[in-house]
Copies of this chain bind each other. A is one copy, B any other.
């Protein structure tokens, strides 16, 4: 703290990302990274990129990438927004659309960055508990609000809500923006992008970090009515006109063009997730039904903190949250089959399991 800081930032509690250790030989199952490399064409993009072009500014509109995303999702380019990772897209969404007079509604247990944005912008918020089985019950969001945001599938639970329930919410909630954060949607949930043409207050955010194995390049996007996208563009262009660099734009387009590779890696992650789920249940874990590239599990005999420490000693990183209701859970990213076999082997050797 310093007397030179803006008064409003003195009480900020920034987001804490999962650890990125520089130690070799760790099995890293703590930040929901994809275990497989990005599309092979990414190598070609780097090989063929004319580095002298880097002296020029990138296209501030990311036009080619917008066209490619619009084509992929059956949308127009004016329904597509691009940002520096979906965290930036969310930060701009909160600024552009969710600073309202009435309270923002969001789940009590969800992606913890939402509360950091609420803090940063001084937004009034109402947190709604998950059900006893850790689901988001959207019928509870039918109350006066200045906006609604939730992750689908939700994090860190991994559970998704069906599209029919999102549609029902949009039918009754027509006066405020509903943001569906689909960071993990490709791993088995139904995307709300199919509803964009019908509901002018729906914004869907996605990322290339998880399902497209491009966390290292920071590529996020949002889809919605052109008016909502225009709000995001205005705020982006009042904050940072050129957030996505040339290489990231070119690589993202190459990734979108290889649908077969994308699908085959998703299928592999999903198969490994189902195997892992089964193995954990055999060991007595309670595992929530996941539509993501992670599982959220707890064990009646051993605490989450103890299990995390035990795995860490054995060079396996998983994520643990010290929040009420989920403090006994572990969030375990789905790695390769070998990595998950090693995880299960160590758990089998734990004296209390």
- A interface, CB within 8 angstroms of B: 1-9, 12-15, 17, 20, 28, 31, 33-38, 42-43, 46-47, 49, 51-60, 84-85, 87-88, 91, 95-101, 116-117, 119-120, 175-177, 200-201, 209, 213-218, 227-228, 230-231, 233-248, 251
Contact = CB atoms under 8 A, between A and B. Distances in A.
B215 A54 contact: yes
Contact of A239 (B13, B36, B120, B214): B120
Quickly give the copy total for this chain. Answer: 2
A243 B4 contact: no
Contact of A227 (B4, B53, B91, B200): B4
A173 to B, nearest CB: 12
Contacts of A6: 95-100, 231
Contacts of A20: 56-57, 59-60
Given A119-B238, A177-B4, A37 B9 contact: no
Contacts of A247: 46, 216-217, 245, 247-248
Given A38-B52, A42-B51, 15 more contacts: A2-B230, A4-B177, A5-B227, A7-B99, A9-B235, A14-B237, A20-B59, A28-B56, A42-B54, A54-B215, A87-B242, A216-B246, A217-B247, A218-B244, A245-B245
Contacts of A242: 17, 85, 87, 215, 218
Given A6-B96, A239-B88, A12 B234 contact: yes
A39 to B, nearest CB: 9
A299 to B, nearest CB: 28
A249 B315 CA distance: 27
B238 A218 contact: no
Contacts of A215: 54-58, 242
A5 B116 contact: no
